[in-house]
Amino acid sequence: MKSIVILISGRGSNLAAILDAKLPANISTVISNNPSAGGLAVAQHQGIPTLAIDHNTFPGREQFDQALIAAIDLHSPDLIVLAGFMRILSDKFVNHYRGRLINIHPSLLPAFAGLNTHERALNAGVKIHGCSVHFVTSTLDGGPIIVQAAVPVLPDDDEKTLAARVLVQEHNIYADAIRWFLEDKLSVVNNRVHVRGVDSGAGTLLNPLAS
């Protein structure tokens, strides 16, 4: 059985959805850069070991990332999952786990990379918004895309309502992407992810109705 390490920074809603999916993997540990992250309690409630490595106690990003690498490598994971991990990772970290490091981002990449995605989508007047699961590379939110889900932007949306609609789809697609990785269904050719058995498009781009 493959093993996973999950990195979080906050309340752990994506973490909870991943745990609820009962994936065929051993979740070795959940690590947070925020000692007060609510997601740590989510993991502990299910008997999963947790660790807090406070980035504020390190002089810089490189030193924090080195400590994080050391903690992760104790578990020799097959996959590292960023589930609301709010840190920009160094090139050294990304290269160390290249091909086995994935992230979920609340936009239809490559649109609205970075922060404040829902505000920026509303300000841009787009008609659809959504979320993307992608492999992590040294380019911020720029790695090969595994799966996306689109949601409509409604006339009366504000950041809160749009974010809530997107979050529902984050919970739907992240577990699928992880499962495909665990089942060795993913391959990357020319920066495009191919998913064996679900490459018809319907499986890797969801377009649900407004909810």
Position 208 scores a pLDDT of: 57
**Could you say which residues of the chain have pLDDT below 50?**
210-211
Lookup result for tokens 């895309």: 145
For the chain, domains (ranges, CATH) are: 1-97 (3.40.50.170), 105-132+146-211 (3.40.50.170)
Position 139 scores a pLDDT of: 95
The tens digit of pLDDT for each residue in 116-164 reads 999 999 999 999 999 999 999 999 999 999 999 999 999 999 999 999 9
Q: What CA–CA distances, in Å, run from 108 to 11, 141, 142, 164, 179?
A: 23, 11, 11, 15, 21
| Sequence letter at residue 175 | A
| Sequence letter at residue 46 | Q
Position 130 scores a pLDDT of: 97
The tens digit of pLDDT for each residue in 102-129 reads 999 999 999 999 999 999 999 999 999 9
Q: Enter the pTM of the model.
A: 0.94
Kindly state the helix (H) or strand (E) to which residue 73 belongs, with its residue range.
helix 61-73
Catalytically annotated residue among 55, 96, 105, 134: 105
Distance CA 153, CA 131 (A): 13
Position 27 scores a pLDDT of: 98
Asked if 3 and 23 count as a contact pair (C-beta separation under 8 A), the reply is no
Q: Where are the beta strands (DSSP E) in the chain?
A: 3-8, 26-32, 50-52, 79-82, 101-105, 128-135, 145-152, 186-189, 192-195, 205-206
Q: Does 171 qualify as catalytic in the annotation?
A: no
Position 198 scores a pLDDT of: 78
